[in-house]
Amino acid sequence: MSVPRVKRLAAFVADQIAAGEVVERPSSIVKELIENSLDAGATQIDVRTEAGGVALTWVQDNGHGIDAQDLELAFERHATSKIVDAKDLLGVESLGFRGEALASLSSVARVKLSSAIAGSASGAVREVHGGKLVHQGPIAHNQGTTVDVRDLFFNIPARRKFLKTQRTEMSRIDQVVRRLSLAHMGVGFSLQQAGENASSKARRFALPAGRINERLTQVLSKSFVDESVVIEESRDDYRLHGWVGLPNHHRRQTDQQFFYVNGRAITDKVVGHAIRQAYADVMFHGRHAVFVLFLELPPAVVDVNVHPTKHEVRFRDARRVHDFIFGSLNRVLREVRPDAVENASAPANTAQEPTTQYNTWKSPSAQPGLVLSGPGGSNSGLLPLVAEHSPAWSVLDSTSKTLQAHMDTPPLGFAIAQLHGVYILAQNQQGLVMVDMHAAHERVTYEKLKAQAAKQYVSRQRLLVPAHVDVSVAEADLVEDMAEQLQAVGLVVERVGQQAVSVREIPALLSQQDIQLMITDLLAELAEFGASEEISRRQLDLLASVACHGSVRANRALSLLEMNTLLREMEHTENAGLCNHGRPTYFTYAMEALDKLFYRGQ
């Protein structure tokens, strides 16, 4: 057999190979062309496609245009106006810089590019079909550039086979335009797609420049605008800003997670992990957060040139990026608390849709700390809820009405009754507050346990008589295996037989009632789901389970004092609007909403 000789590839073949990376599918053409328009400083970009971009992809902009003399060069591989030498790569701020898109594209499709620069008498056009120049000359054109791409992969039929259905390609194009539009609010975009399903609304939209809420509504949803908070955090030369969906605004897919590094949409493991961790405690299991986030870093600390399409990046200090994102989001999500009295004038909830109102809220602890001892001044001891904050309210029983009248009502109001052993009904300044007592107590207990665990010490109470619990063999094994971890969260449990364990100490925060039930439920859960891999996460899971199974259960009568204590604790608890499983802990009905329900004053 003869040894194959090494040969240099013809430039055209090299272009086609490069095209495989840059022009993967029609949506990647749309991305490359829009990025060129953005780099050219366009303020309006219009996109049209036919047949999912295979028959036609057309992008027009009003950017600075291309000088007629440069038109030929623009189609050549590694020809770019954006960087000059390798050191520029360290600080690259343009979206493109590899000089590959037009060369790649014109090697696998019929490309016609027309452009004019400011102040020139006429524009210029250049047409290249599958790498062959077919026409070049002057053309009338406004300042800006129009790229018309037809018959994608006409000369490589094999590549066409890899394309998905027209509908799929259309929705990918739709996504690309939306994704890019979020990072450039000052630029107007429009998209028109002809083809199957062309009548569908998603195939046609216009996003006028500068109207931010309208864009967020069109690209994400109206509810995202209502159920998100603005984030703006800086540390040294790092900045994170944008909108984060509240934990109760979640989705089944990750399709509304938009993350940009220096204006470039990217996917990255480190970033994904930091965000998931920040939401871990408050997100409903198996659901996904919604956000639009922009991370701005000095260009020199992020390498964008790790992938031809540049949707992956490499951070010089990944740990710092991770901690900055996690810390910033964590802080913002934690500030989400029950609505404050100062927001009493917020729009009334409709009667049909009670809402848990979230706000980044200042705690009312600035109240003068007068200590009251009402009729229920001593804790009945049933519910191990000891208010650690705001003595002004902690012992206030609803019978102390005269005193109440002289004070501002706290955000979650005062308890008036317990409904079917499940819900606490309370009255605040705006109207009715309904609290799921188990969910709320669970969150309060969890956050307290977490705070203690963070200080390496969960305070425990020794049981006078150790509680004997019958369990399965697997559960008893688990107790043996996890003894140390259980102790770290305040549970001292020992195996005392094949199928028996003995509980000697429990977290001081938990009620001594139902210990058997708590341990049985906890072990059953651990046996079924196992403990998660990560140590920090594992401890949180355990704390959450302990809090869940150790919190007040339904059908337990609470005194008004206990109820009020719980309400006060909620006001001082991080993430109080959601239980550990991401379910809401309370709803409020403003008087206006109740009046509506009864057609009062109509």
Q: Which residues here bind ligand ADP, judged by CB under 6 A?
A: 32, 36-37, 40, 61, 63-66, 74, 80-82, 96-103, 145
Sign of CA dihedral 228, 230, 231, 237: positive
Tell whether residue 479 is a contact of Mg ion (CB under 5 A).
Answer: no
Q: How far apart are CA 567 and CA 586, in angstroms?
A: 10
Nearer residue to ligand ADP within complex by CB, 52 or 65: 65
SS3 185: coil
What is the pattern of x (binds Mg ion, CB under 5 A) and - over residues 100-119? Answer: -x------------------
Stretch that binds Mg ion, among 29-37, 107-115, 180-188, 452-460 (CB under 5 A): 29-37
Nearer residue to Mg ion within complex by CB, 152 or 246: 152
Tell whether residue 36 is a contact of Mg ion (CB under 5 A).
Answer: yes
Nearer residue to ligand ADP within complex by CB, 65 or 242: 65
Closest CA to 265 of 164, 174, 175: 175
Instruction: Find the shortest distance in angstroms from Cβ 87 to ligand ADP.
Output: 17
Nearer residue to ligand ADP within complex by CB, 99 or 550: 99
Q: How far apart are CA 11 and CA 132, in angstroms?
A: 12
The residue to which tokens 């200590």 are assigned: 371
Instruction: Find the shortest distance in angstroms from Cβ 180 to ligand ADP.
Output: 14
What DSSP state is assigned to residue 86? Answer: G
Q: Which of residues 64-103 bind Mg ion (CB under 5 A)?
A: 96, 101
Nearer residue to ligand ADP within complex by CB, 99 or 411: 99
Cβ(343)–Cβ(366) under 8 Å?
no
For residue 277, what are its two tokens? 């961790």
Residue 90, C-beta contacts closer than 8 angstroms, at least 6 positions apart: 299, 300
Q: Which does 99 bind (CB under 5 to 8 A by kind): ligand ADP, Mg ion, none?
A: ligand ADP
Closest CA to 277 of 329, 225, 337: 329
Nearest 5°: CA angle at 175, between 172 and 179? 140
Q: Which does 81 bind (CB under 5 to 8 A by kind): ligand ADP, Mg ion, none?
A: ligand ADP
Cβ(599)–Cβ(353) under 8 Å?
no
Instruction: Find the shortest distance in angstroms from Cβ 335 to Mg ion.
Output: 41
Residue 352 exposed, middle or buried by CB count within 10 Å (0-12, 13-18, 19+): exposed
Nearer residue to ligand ADP within complex by CB, 164 or 307: 307
Instruction: Find the shortest distance in angstroms from Cβ 92 to ligand ADP.
Output: 10
Nearer residue to ligand ADP within complex by CB, 305 or 472: 305
Q: Which does 295 bind (CB under 5 to 8 A by kind): ligand ADP, Mg ion, none?
A: none
SS3 readout for 474-489:
HHHHHHHHCHHHHHHC
Point out the residue whose Cβ comes nearest to ligand ADP: 96
H helices then E strands: how many in the chain?
A: 19, 24
Tell whether residue 187 is a contact of Mg ion (CB under 5 A).
Answer: no
Stretch that binds Mg ion, among 33-41, 148-156, 425-433, 578-586 (CB under 5 A): 33-41
Cβ(107)–Cβ(16) under 8 Å?
yes
Residues that bind Mg ion (CB under 5 A): 36, 96, 101
